[in-house]
Amino acid sequence: MAPGLYLVATPIGNARDITLRTLDILQQAEVLAAEDTRSLRRLLEIHGIALGDRPLIAYHDHNGARARPRLLAAIEAGQSVAYASEAGTPMISDPGFDLMRAAQEAGLAATSAPGPSAMVTALTLAGLPTDRFLFAGFLPNASGARKRTLGELGAVPATLVFYESPKRLDGMLRDAEEVLGAERQATVCRELTKKFEEVRRGSLSELAAFYGQNPAKGEIVVLIGKGEAAVVSETVMEDEIRTALETMSVRDAADSVSAKLGVKRRPVYQLAMKLAGQ
Ligand code: SAM
């Protein structure tokens, strides 16, 4: 195999969701690197690929700065290095970015062997428009920051795609209902490609009520459909206006906030006047 960095996508559940090219690369690369070396070992075993005496090097967010020079040196010395994240596509809410950029900056050959990713799989199953979508990864944990982010994203005319943990799903759906409106359509995709795969569609209020009663388990992608017209809660609007008023006149704050949130200017202006005490 030619020297270089080979990013490979690995299954997100079903071990057979792996491409022939990725299997070839895992079979032939002289050095293997993985976010989680145990997961990659298991995958090699399932597919009958012997590691042999090839090095298997851990590369993740916490040791990237130390492990990167070793991987780059291997490529510079003429070796092929395959990198896999724990599951799915490297760099999609996973490590790999710094490694790829460093390889490119060093003028080394680098390529990607595409394959599974939970975000694409969820989009194909959600029953929401896919002509335009925005992948936003994980939302902040704290409710205030989460609502602010949802407020900003809510105005984007596209299907929104989020990764979420089962512990936070209920709170996230309740915040989304408050910020984006009860009627906005959404889909929760759980355990994709696995035995208990589930796709549940409904309005944000229906989904919040369901998962409030039935706590979810497993891995989750939440997709939120495009709003008919941007619906933004008064709390979010007020927060944005207060921040804008720190540096702007009422008129400029109204322009800036209505553009940022994608809402009509008039109600923003009226609220800004009230908050500014005019
Ligand atoms: N790189 C991966 C990819 O390409 O999808 C994502 C890694 S990210 C750290 C892990 C998150 O992806 C999980 O918390 C979950 O939100 C989502 N995810 C991964 N596998 C999934 C699955 N089988 N079903 C639903 N969501 C999944």
Residue 40: give the domain boundaries. 4-116
177 with 126, same domain?
yes
Q: At what angle do helices 234-245 and 143-154 cross, to 10 degrees?
A: 90
Q: How far is the CA of 43 from the centre of ligand 1 (A)?
A: 17
- pLDDT at residue 15, rounded to an integer: 97
Q: How far is the CA of 179 from the centre of ligand 1 (A)?
A: 25
E strands, the chain, in order: 4-8, 31-34, 56-58, 80-84, 110-113, 133-138, 159-164, 185-190, 198-203, 220-224
Ligand 1 environment, Cβ below 6 A: 12-13, 85, 87-89, 92-94, 117-119, 163-165, 189, 191-194, 219-221
Q: Is residue 150 part of a domain?
A: yes
State which ligand 1 atom lies nearest to the alpha carbon of 9: 4
Query: Which is more confident, 255 or 1?
Result: 1
Q: Give CA torsion, residues 239, 242, 244, 245, to 10 deg.
A: 170
pLDDT tens-digit readout, 8-50 = 999 999 999 999 999 999 999 999 999 999 999 999 999 999 9
- pLDDT at residue 236, rounded to an integer: 81
Contacts of 86 by beta carbon, 8 Å cutoff, 6+ apart: 10, 34, 35, 36, 39, 94
pTM metric for this prediction: 0.84
| Residue closest by Cα to atom 23 of ligand 1 | 192
Task: Report the CATH number that the domain containing residue 102 is assigned in CATH.
Answer: 3.40.1010.10
Q: How far is the CA of 204 from the centre of ligand 1 (A)?
A: 21
Q: Choose one of 92, 116, 140: the last residue of a domain.
A: 116
pLDDT tens-digit readout, 175-202 = 999 999 999 999 999 999 999 999 999 9
Structure tokens at 65: 């700065």
Q: How far is the CA of 92 from the centre of ligand 1 (A)?
A: 9
Query: Which is more confident, 169 or 256?
Result: 169
- pLDDT at residue 257, rounded to an integer: 85
- pLDDT at residue 262, rounded to an integer: 67
State which ligand 1 atom lies nearest to the alpha carbon of 165: 14
Q: Is residue 161 part of a domain?
A: yes
Strand partners, 138: 163
pLDDT tens-digit readout, 219-249 = 999 999 998 755 567 788 888 999 999 999 9
Q: Is residue 229 part of a domain?
A: no
pLDDT tens-digit readout, 104-136 = 999 999 999 999 999 999 999 999 999 999 999
108 with 125, same domain?
no
- pLDDT at residue 208, rounded to an integer: 98
- pLDDT at residue 52, rounded to an integer: 97
pLDDT tens-digit readout, 56-112 = 999 999 999 999 999 999 999 999 999 999 999 999 999 999 999 999 999 999 999
